[in-house]
Amino acid sequence: MKKVVLLAIAVLLYIGVNAQIVSSRSVGVNAAKSTSETLNYFRAGINMMKFAGDADDSESKTGYSVTYGFMKPMGSFGMYWGMEFGLGSRGGKSGDEFTQIAHNVQYSPFHLGYRYGFTDALKVDVHVGAYASFDYAGKIKIDVNGDKSEFNIGDWNEDLEDGGFGMDWRRYDVGLNAGIGIWYNNFNLDFNFQRGFIEAEKDGEYYTSNFMIRLGIAF
């Protein structure tokens, strides 16, 4: 799993570096940045995961979020639109007896934001947008009176008699991102709430609910 995550981060870095090279060639090495220039960025941080709905009593479990995105200004008054691609997680826990984490690929096809500048260096950034995700891996851990069991995501939907977990998990999700952040020059501190609209488990009536704290850098 760590190798997969590291490989994906390397791919994101490669994409970002190439995007910056193309941008630099088009703008010119000695040209000053204009207000119409596309801003590329990376963000990474922790994700406090839980479920909302019928699982409101679920407890938070720490996950992660790594994203590459861009902001394209809409005029010169601070509004922008953008896209994001990255890796993330969702899940939760119930005491020490039950923990769940699903690792996913996330894509935000469109988001809108507004950056207000207090000074040339200090800006506040408010943003909202849609996302889609797919769980490519995951694990459930159960500990009942010292009797421990683990189930990989491929076994979650298998019947109990076949060694599975007996649930009807949906690997895909669609939902909303909404956040606020602070930029100081090219550095960013971002707070983002993520809410899924699709039942995580069929007929389960509980949904993805993530809160992320991320650091970012623009280039």
Q: Which tens digits make up the pLDDT trace of 88-99?
A: 999 999 887 899
Domain positions in the chain: 39-218
Helix (DSSP H) and strand (DSSP E) numbers for the chain: 1, 9
pTM over the 0.75 mark: yes
pLDDT digits (tens, 9 = 90+) for 144-164: 887 888 889 888 888 666 666
Tens of pLDDT along 23-74?
A: 444 444 333 344 568 999 999 999 999 999 886 667 899 999 999 999 999 9
Cα separation, 135 vs 143, in Å, equals 24
CATH code that applies to domain 39-218: 2.40.160.20
